[in-house]
Amino acid sequence: MADQRVVVTGIGAVTPIGTGVKQLWDGVQTGKSAVKAINRFVPEGLRSQIAAQIEDFDPLQYMDKKRAHRMDRYSQLAVSAGMLAMRDAAFLPTSIEPERVGIFMGSALGGISYAEEQCGNYYSGGYRSVSPTLGFSVFGGASSCNMAMEFGFTGPNETNAMSCASGAVAIGRGMQAIRRGEADVVIAGGAEAPLAPLSFGAFDMLRAMSTRNEMPDSASRPFDKNRDGFVMGEGASVLVMESERHARARGARIYGEVAGFGLTNDAFHMSAPLPSGSQAARAVRLALASADMSPDDIGYINAHGSSTLLNDVTESRVIRQVFGDRPVAVSGTKGLYGHPLGASGAIEAAITLLSMYNGWLPPTTNLTEPDPEAEIDLVSGSARPERPDAAISNSYGFGGVNAVLAFRRA
């Protein structure tokens, strides 16, 4: 089964710039940042007081009140994105043996924000004021397990917690499961709901987040000379992935192929990238090798582009190491929806696929003065009407995790 192609037939997204595949793509094309002053809690005493929030999410549009009550926001986002992805793929759970469908998800923090809320209840009112759902809501695997119960899929099920690379890792693991013959269909992606005082404040204490509180819509600015940190966001994105044989047999619409996956670790620092970028570059080469591609095949890179001082420069170094002086179009799209931690790689995988499918490479939002150290071919100003045959999406995370996905056009 190693030569079995894995294709994407459905995309589901719940993000600050749009819910659903059409709305997500409209948000990308509109190019308007969703970053605003945070209103989920009072950010008193914090340096950063802005975030990319989902303002219109209503879980009751996707599940009944009883089911919604038994999930925290993290699981609600995951299940809702999964439902949207299956609708987009016109995939019915009854059309396949449930054992042949796997679910792979990723999240940096899982249900920790809900746990934080319940801790407040405990300190103010004791055990009796704590929700009885806490025990099965806080762990990261609640997303994939709730999805399995919602859809009735009993195949391989896993949620990884590889920080900001989690969503990309989940998609890569899902691709591998289909190639190994463990599943014919995989639901894979990432979900994150981190906007709570302690979780937000922990990153604020690291001085990793932007303090452009007076100009929130220009705060997240990947590769820009004047960037000052990332902007925290929330959201979920899920792909329906199938063996090409299975997708063709049911006449499915195909967005593209998940062709390769590379995963390495810097083994250097918990929050800073390896300055040389050598292990991140190796992850790119591993992804290309597993896709049977060379650097010359790649026409577009959706960068991790976190808008932090160290990461953007290191990523530029990585791109130059692998691709040399050949210009390859690069976009950093976090200027639109901030950095939703473990969900970001999955959101960016969806954007990469849609960019190839629609022949429209998005510009790097808020890029007004490129960092002179970022000597790469950044798409800036306006989009490029190009339809590359192959692309990669980079995702990096705390702990030195480097995950790279390689895609081939349908």
**pLDDT surpassing 70 at residue 3:** no
Decide which of 223, 256, 289 is a domain's last residue. 256
User: What number is the average pLDDT over the span 195-218?
Assistant: 96
**pLDDT surpassing 80 at residue 56:** yes
Q: For residue range 27-49, list pLDDT tens digits in order.
A: 999 999 999 999 999 999 999 99
SS3 387: coil
pLDDT band at residue 2 under the 50/70/90 scheme: low
**pLDDT surpassing 80 at residue 343:** yes
**pLDDT surpassing 60 at residue 146:** yes
User: What number is the average pLDDT over the span 185-193?
Assistant: 98
Asked if residue 328 and residue 193 are part of one domain, the reply reads no
User: What number is the average pLDDT over the span 317-338?
Assistant: 97
**pLDDT surpassing 80 at residue 1:** no
**What is the maximal distance between C-alpha atoms in the chain?**
63
Asked if residue 49 and residue 105 are part of one domain, the reply reads yes
Alpha helices in 157-226 (DSSP H): 166-179, 197-205
Per the structure, how many domains does the chain have? Answer: 2
Asked if residue 376 and residue 327 are part of one domain, the reply reads yes
pLDDT band at residue 94 under the 50/70/90 scheme: confident
Residue 341 lies in a domain: yes
Note the pTM of the prediction, 2 decimals.
0.97
- Report DSSP letters for 377-401, one per residue: EE--SS-B----SEEEEEEEETTTE
- Cα 206 to chain centroid distance, Å, stands at 22
User: What number is the average pLDDT over the span 282-291?
Assistant: 98
CA distance linking residue 233 with residue 167, whole number of Å: 14
Asked if residue 155 and residue 35 are part of one domain, the reply reads yes
Catalytic amino acids? Answer: 164
pLDDT band at residue 339 under the 50/70/90 scheme: very high
Asked if residue 335 and residue 295 are part of one domain, the reply reads yes
What is the per-residue pLDDT for 196?
96
Asked if residue 251 and residue 347 are part of one domain, the reply reads no
**pLDDT surpassing 70 at residue 234:** yes
Residue 401 lies in a domain: yes
Specify which residues 191 forms β-bridges with: 236
Could you tell me what percent of the chain has a pLDDT over 90? 98
pLDDT band at residue 18 under the 50/70/90 scheme: very high
What is the per-residue pLDDT for 4?
84
| DSSP H or E run through 371 | none
**pLDDT surpassing 80 at residue 210:** yes
Asked if residue 95 and residue 74 are part of one domain, the reply reads yes
What is the per-residue pLDDT for 401?
98
Residue 364: CATH number of its domain: 3.40.47.10
Query: What residues make up the domain containing 245?
Result: 6-256
